[in-house]
Structure 1
Amino acid sequence: MLVARPDGTDRTRWTSINACLPPAVAFDGQEVVTSEGLGTAPGPRGPGQLHPVQQEMAAPVRLSLGVRGARVP
């Protein structure tokens, strides 16, 4: 989940947060974007297409069992 927080200038600072940790009331007055909300914004992807972040989250998990320190490509 992304949280928009003012940084003291005209700009907004986006911070990624693990949604399981803080209570919802902690984000009172802040803009929150979840992975579900990424695909709803108008843009070049068109309707029905997933945002790249959503595509990565929906991709099958690749596990490397029995190999320590293996990186998942």
Structure 2
Amino acid sequence: MSEDKVKGPASYFPSIEKAYGRPIAEWKALLRARPPAKHMELVNWLKQEHGMGHGHANALVAHMLSEDKG
């Protein structure tokens, strides 16, 4: 049997956790604790305040916003 490969923004999660030392749930909690903001405002906040790369920040924000949209 072959394992289903994780696709989309979640495929970045292992490298985000490894590179920045926090679990994904913690990153999402930090984002959700912020005042409501647009996608790119949240991406830029992660980049500026936490030194996250653009691809990682974008994937994390996209996944979190998708979850919150329901």
**TM above 0.5, one fold?**
no
Between Structure 1 and Structure 2, whose CA radius of gyration is higher?
1
The higher-RCO structure (CA 8 Å, 6+ apart) is 2
Could you say which structure has the higher helix fraction? 2
If the length of structure 2 is used for normalisation, what is the TM-score? 0.27
* Higher strand residue share: 1
TM-score, with structure 1 as normaliser: 0.26
